[in-house]
Structure 1
Amino acid sequence: MSDQPPPRLLTEAELSARLRGLAAHGAVPAPTTGAQVRNRVQRRRRGRRVLLSTGALAAAALIAVTYGALTSSAGQPAPPATSPPELPPAPVQQVTIDLDAYTLTIEGRTLRISGLQESCPIGETTVTVTAKYPSLAMPPNKFSSLTGIEVKQWVVTFTDRGRQHERLLTWALDPAAGLASIGHNAGAGAIALSPEDGKWVYDAIEPGARVEIKGWQAASPDPDTTCYDRQPVTGTR
């Protein structure tokens, strides 16, 4: 250890004198008094504290913003997956059969038909087309038993609501049968069209078409053995 005494602290007057000497040689600006020296030292200390405080606040703000963003993105549920927009249902084809006017209207076209025998109504006012057959062999009945099974052309069918049987709705007359029944009540449980119109309706109508049947129908029908067009479709198709 050194035996020399510690350096003596300068008094305020001595410190001011030395600073003025340094200022005279251009080292530092010359303070006039010791109070000015202390004020200058204090201002420097305050400046450093302000810089440190400003830096700390900026760092804290950055941390808060970053944490908030991470917390927000982590806490929010993921947006639901978007599904493709639903398409509107396809319009249902509309068909009208007018038994009083002897007409069938489809796709803006009105065609002449044969009506129903009073004793053999269809028995429905609204039906849905379920199937189509270019030719259909009907089951035997007492009217066709002498000549065998009757084959009908360009047949359109529906399923009735009572017994859930597939039945005839429209068919095309055989050219050999002539057109005497068109415009008259002649159908034994279904309506008929001319050969040309029957083929056109067969091509134009679609399964699922909604058919409105207008006009008067008898309340007390004959049995299916008499109304053979009303029998269930069970033959070769």
Structure 2
Amino acid sequence: MLSTTALAAAALTVVTSGALRSATEAAAPPAASVSRTPTPVPSPTPVQRVTIDLDAHTLTIKGRRFPISGVQDNCPIGERAVTVTAKYPTLTMPPNKYTRLTKYVDVRQWAVTFTDRRHHERLLMWALDPSAGLNSIGHNSGAGSVALSPRDGKWVYDAIKPGARVEIKGRQAASADPDSVCYDRQPVIGDH
């Protein structure tokens, strides 16, 4: 009778502790033996890739190449790769105190901006005003940004996306005039 009682107690212990499992139920391995190697995750790809070549005076996007004006030697962009921050149909520039046309309101059409390493939003590219002529396309005439022809500027503006990664190739001067001279490099605030 003692042995029957002992067997019944042992069976009860097995049932309540879950020591016996059915053949179809897999036993979980001990926690110490679980080894999980994280699956490598690739770096997120940029929304879009754009190349500005200051030596060739070209901008390439979506397999198309457009002629641009380059930047003046005294007003380099100062970056080799930037990310597009925002787009503005028009962007009003501060008055340029170094020209006689201080009353002229400089409005840039189809403006595309980026944020520099100082966390300032700055002008990257824009379209020339048709009334200003196309003299700067193919030459270095920008005070810290590049310009496209009106038609090309509108196409690029429509095609480029915020988050696009822009590689800036070509020679840029090591030293530069201050932002008061290179007014395209001044921070964008609102739509100015």
Please identify which structure carries the higher helix content. Answer: 1
Kept in 1, the 8 Å contact 2:71–2:144? The answer is yes
Question: What is the TM-score of this pair, normalised by structure 1?
Answer: 0.62
SS at 1:229 equivalent? helix
CA separation in 1, counterparts of 2:100 and 2:107? 10
| Deviation (angstroms), 1:113 | 0.1
SS at 2:56 equivalent? coil
Instruction: State yes or no: 1:150 paired with 2:115.
Output: no
CA separation in 2, counterparts of 1:203 and 1:236? 18
Instruction: Give the number of the structure with larger relative contact order, counting CA–CA contacts within 8 Å between residues 6 or more apart.
Output: 2
Please identify which structure carries the higher strand content. Answer: 2
Matches within 5 A, 1:86-235: 91-92=45-46, 93-142=48-97, 143=99, 146-161=102-117, 163-235=118-190
State the percentage of identical aligned residues.
Answer: 67
Question: What is the TM-score of this pair, normalised by structure 2?
Answer: 0.76
Kept in 2, the 8 Å contact 1:137–1:235? The answer is no
Q: Which amino acid aligns with 1:199?
A: K
Instruction: State yes or no: 1:72 paired with 2:21.
Output: yes
Gaps of 5+ in 1: 1-66, 78-86
Q: Which amino acid aligns with 1:101?
A: A
Q: Deviations over 1:74-128 (max 9, x none)?
A: 7845xxxxxxxxx987642111000000000000000000011010000001111
Q: Which amino acid aligns with 1:134?
A: P
**RMSD of the TM alignment (CA)?**
2.8
Gaps of 5+ in 2: 1-14, 29-40
Change (3 A) 1:107 1:90: farther
Q: Out of 182-191 and 225-234, give the one that drifted further.
A: 225-234
CA separation in 2, counterparts of 1:149 and 1:234? 16
CA separation in 2, counterparts of 1:106 and 1:173? 18
Larger Rg: 1
Kept in 2, the 8 Å contact 1:138–1:235? The answer is no
